[in-house]
Chain A
Amino acid sequence: MAAGAASGGSATTDTYKEARTWLLLPAWVTLSILVLAPVLMMLIYSFLTKEFRGGVIWEFSLAAYDQFFFDRGLFGDEPPKIEWTYITIFWRSIWQAAAATLLSLAIGFPTAYFIATRSENMRPVWVFLITIPYWVNLLIRTVSMKFLLRDQGPLNDFLMNIGLIDSPLHIVNTNFAVQLGLFYSYLPFMVLPIYAAVERYNFALSEAAADLYASKWTTLRRILLPAVKPGVFAGCILVFVPSMGSFLAPDLLGGAKNFMIGSLIEEQFKGNAGNWPFGAAASMVLLTMVLIILMFSARQQAKADKAGG
């Protein structure tokens, strides 16, 4: 599906068809043992009985999913209603992640394009420039970011000094700060895949379009974007999906007043609750949701490809 969704004239080909199994085998084996097996174990855990303060009792139970979808009151003895708490938390995480992805795209695409159009020996330098900040630990970077954005911080001082604003912008501990935290955590994950795709782009196509009196922006939209779509798609996945489960940077900047999915799940394994089956169940719901979103967007992309020829 997604990875294979073709575009830019090059559909999947079968040059290495015979070797396919061998090419994929290392990935299959590594991921099956190190990721799939633990995830399947968590799937089983989500259907087991919780052991108080962490751990599971090996008895089948739907309690975890029941807790997720049904509200039985503070004491668990009222008639079940639909539980909105977790849906709210999930919905919030989705749109925060989506906003962060759009923000990354808005900044990341022009950056990637700019880098890809530098001279050949400058490109690696730019690529490194984008990733170097990530050698510094996320927590340290985020704490420093918070310092910059504070009400009495350097950013507000600067903006007030140049007369752009009269009173400090209140950024820290807002929803926007959460998105900023996510954006900042994953920006290179948007830039690099797009760069790798644009770098390959044949500018003769743009020239041809210009010869046919297409405007620059039309060329961008109609010729360039479709050609580099796999890169954009990869970048969006790499920002959106991890953002859904992330909480460290957004909590630090946003004030953690509301659970993100990630912090809700973390709480089940490391907090007072110690409700492993519920943590596992919430992860499975998240996993299912992300899979659906991925498949849906991959299908949309494939459709668009067919329609666009």
Chain B
Amino acid sequence: MKHMMKSGVAALALAFGANAAAAEGELVLYHWFEYIPQELLDKFTEETGITVTMDTYDSNESMLASLKAGGIGTYDVSVPGDYMVSIMAGEGMLDTIADGELKNKGNIAPDWADPSFDPGRQSSIPYQWGSTSFAVNRDAYDGDIQTTDILFNPPAELQGRINMLDSQGEVMAMAALHMGIPQCSTDREQLKALNAMLQEAKQHWASFNSDTAKEVLVSGDAAVGQIYDGFSAKAREEGANVEYAYPTQGYIAWMDNVVLLKDAPNRDNALIFMDFLLEPENIAAVTNFAQYNAGLNGVESFLDPALAAQPEKNPHANAGPGVFIEVCSEEVQSVYDQIWTNLKK
């Protein structure tokens, strides 16, 4: 039996010893879980003959941790969120795309062509964008929900029935909007007030949960949930009487981007893939799948018409500004960590 085991291990090593490196006609994609339809990858392979190997992650931070621990040089492209693009650029993890290397670059919508997190789109192209705020169950509360008070200073009906995302970035950014202070403020009084406000608000929260953010709304376990716009739409489609809020104080905007990683083993194929995703028809397939928004010109005709009409996609007239989560300096980040630990100690 021992002998069998040994040869079994050897066979495994031969059969599966991951061979992610630069074989011709390959592309190694490091992507979020469930964020690209398999059909689209098949189409890409069909059109170009390039086979795609995909590895997945569950958060921007875990992707960063894995790349830091030695993943650079394994993958060609990954799909970080806005703030993570600037962090990765700062870490020297991104390769620069020279002018003319992407023939479809002109398809990028003007709004997204020169974002603050990657000026001039040197290493990235838009993937999907959307917003994060919160949804309220209208059976539980019929008052005004277009205010961050719902999360941080909730009316009596909603107290103890609030689910927050278990994510420091989203909670802190929303809290800053609520208090009307800049994100990553260095002002001590403001930071102290932020700390105190969160301590106070926590008493009214039932849970921190990202994995089942949608389920708790559908099941009615939570009457308010901090949530992404696409998730809120899905909760509504599943029968929950929830309304997605665009608070007057503002909401969080986010954009995921396809980036070219440094030391990509298949750099040319990565560029072909990015050009592929810059075709309106292809990126529209992602949008129809994930129910967010594309950042290209000319996608409208390929989109599911029901998508554009969703209330989650159409901020009302009094909605505050959509702001990206900012990247804090090391000093402020360590205060933020302290506040977050205080909140959950």
Question: Interface of A with B (CB < 8 Å)?
Answer: 52-55, 74-76, 85, 88-89, 139, 143, 146-147, 150-152, 172-173, 251-252, 255-259, 263-264, 267, 269-275
Q: How distant is the Cα of A11 from the Cα of B40 in the complex, in angstroms?
A: 65
- Give chain B nearest CB distance to A55 CB in angstroms: 5
> CB distance B168 to A52 under 8 Å?
no
Enumerate chain A residues within 8 angstroms of B87, measured Cβ to Cβ: 53
Of all chain B residues, which has the CB nearest A53? B87
Given A152-B220, A256-B166, also A272-B61 (CB < 8 A): yes
For B215, what are the chain A residues with a Cβ–Cβ distance below 8 Å? 143
Q: Are B221 and A151 touching (Cβ within 8 A)?
A: yes
Interface residues of B, count at CB 8 A:
40
Q: If A143-B215, A151-B221, A252-B211 touch, does A271 touch B168 (CB 8 Å cutoff)?
A: yes
Q: Are B206 and A255 in contact (CB under 8 A)?
A: yes
Interface string of B307-345 (1 = CB under 8 A from A): 000000000000000000000001001111111111011
A150 to B219, CA, bound (A): 9
Residues from 46 to 76 in B contacting A, C-beta threshold 8 Å: 59, 61-62, 64-65, 68
| In the complex, chain A residues whose CB is within 8 Å of the CB of B169 | 272
Judge whether B333 and A150 touch: CB under 8 Å. Answer: no
22 example contacts (A-B, Cβ-Cβ < 8 A) are as follows A52-B333, A53-B64, A74-B192, A75-B335, A76-B334, A76-B338, A85-B342, A143-B212, A151-B221, A251-B166, A255-B206, A256-B166, A256-B207, A256-B209, A256-B344, A257-B207, A258-B344, A267-B168, A271-B168, A272-B168, A272-B333, A274-B61
Binding site for A on B (CB under 8 A): 59, 61-62, 64-65, 68, 87, 91, 166, 168-169, 188, 191-192, 195, 202, 205-209, 211-212, 215, 219-221, 330, 333-342, 344-345
Known: A75-B335, A172-B221, A255-B207. A89 touches B212 (CB 8 A): no
Q: Among the listed A54, A151, A173, which residue makes an inter-chain contact with B207, where contact means beta carbons less than 8 Å apart? A: A173
B343 CB, nearest partner CB in chain A, Å:
9
Cα distance, A255 to B166, chains bound together (Å):
10
Q: With both chains docked as a complex, state the minimum distance between the C-beta of A279 and any C-beta of chain B, in angstroms.
A: 10
Q: Which residues of A contact B208 (CB under 8 A)?
A: 251, 255-257
Contact A259/B345 with A53-B91, A74-B335, A74-B339 known, Cβ cut-off 8 Å = yes
Which DSSP category, helix, strand, loop or mixed, fits chain A's interface? loop
A-B pairs with lowest CB-CB distance, top 4 = A255-B207, A256-B208, A272-B168, A270-B62
Decide if A52 touches B211 in the complex (CB within 8 Å): no
| Complex alpha-carbon distance, A269 and B63, angstroms | 11
Given A53-B91, A256-B166, CB of A273 within 8 Å of CB of B337: yes
Q: A251-B209, A257-B207 are in contact. List 13 more A-B contacts (CB 8 A).
A: A53-B91, A55-B68, A146-B212, A173-B206, A251-B166, A255-B207, A256-B207, A256-B208, A256-B344, A257-B202, A258-B345, A264-B341, A273-B337
Chain A residue at smallest Cβ distance from B191: A74
- How far does the alpha carbon of A259 sit from the alpha carbon of B208 in the complex, in Å? 11
CA distance A94 to B188 in the complex (A): 35
Given contacts A74-B195, A85-B341, contact A139 B211 (CB under 8 A): yes
Q: Is the CB of A272 within 8 A of B337?
A: yes
Q: How far is the CA of A74 from the CA of B195 in the complex (A)?
A: 9
User: Do A252 and B212 have beta carbons less than 8 Å apart?
Assistant: yes
Q: Which chain A residues border B336 with CB–CB below 8 Å? A: 272
CB-contact partner of A252 in B68, B188, B209, under 8 A:
B209
Question: Which residues of A are found within 8 Å of B339, using beta-carbon distances?
Answer: 74
Q: Would you give the shortest CB distance from A78 to chain B, in whole angstroms? A: 12
The minimal Cβ–Cβ distance linking B13 to chain A, given in whole angstroms, is 16
The answer, among A139, A263, A275, for a CB contact under 8 Å with B337, is: A275
Instruction: Give bound CA distance, A88 to B202, whole Å.
Output: 18
Residues of A within 8 A of B68 (CB): 54-55
Residues of chain A within 8 A (CB-CB) of B338 are 74, 76
Q: Report the separation of the CA atoms of residues A89 and B87 in the bound assembly, to the nearest whole angstrom.
A: 30
Which of A139, A146, A271 has the largest number of chain B CB atoms within 10 A? A271
